[in-house]
Amino acid sequence: METTRRTIAIGTLATAAVLLVGCTSGGADAGGEGSPTPSPSASVTLTATPTPTPNPSVSAEAAELPIPPDEITEWAKTAVPGSKDEAYAAGFSGWMSASSAAHHTTDLTSMEPGSYQAQLACRGDGTITLIAGELTDEPGTPVTAAPGSAEPIACTNSTIAFDITTAETGMRIELDLDGAPTIYAVSVLRVS
């Protein structure tokens, strides 16, 4: 019985090998007009290339954004001051969602101490909260917030300007999302 199973397995593999010899990939160079015809003795090498499986939740979240993710960088250039501004010190943009990235931290390690004016623009149905502080601060500790307020900056489908003052080199900017997927752009301009 064992010999029969081996014979069947070997026969199946041999049949598959014979069938594969005549296969082509169907691409532009695979036997189409103007391409060489493979010889009957040509060997076939099969290479399995894994196809990345799209994450359905990220795709669904991206579909909820006001613009496609690959257009966010261009939008940011018009939403907040950019590198063409003489006082421009730093900036970044992107999108956030509850399951893929509800928290984002950017450390600007070489930012000189001083006074800055920052802008946060956000679009979408979520609320992004921003806290800016020193690199040495505990995460979530604001150095400054909205003028006259001790609360973090909260952005819901708007653009907000605010001041940041640091006494040490470096700055940390933290973003937190509450709600639906939302795009953002942050720009920091040197005041003094």
pLDDT in tens, 67-82: 999 999 999 999 999 9
Strands (E) located in 50-181 = 88-96, 103-108, 114-124, 127-133, 153-155, 159-166, 171-178
Mean predicted confidence (pLDDT) in 40-56 = 36
* Statement: residue 37 has pLDDT above 50: no
Give me the pLDDT at residue 192, please: 73
User: What is the DSSP secondary structure assignment for residue 50, as one 8-state letter?
Assistant: P
95-149 pLDDT, tens digit each: 999 887 899 999 999 999 999 999 999 999 999 999 998 888 666 555 444 444 4
Query: Closest by alpha carbon to 79, among 190, 131, 155?
Result: 155
Q: What is the rounded (10 degree) CA torsion for 147, 151, 153, 156? A: -120
Determine contact, residues 72/66, Cβ cutoff 8 Å: no
Q: Which CATH fold would you assign to the domain 56-190?
A: Jelly Rolls (2.60.120)
The full set of domain ranges for the chain reads 1-49, 56-190
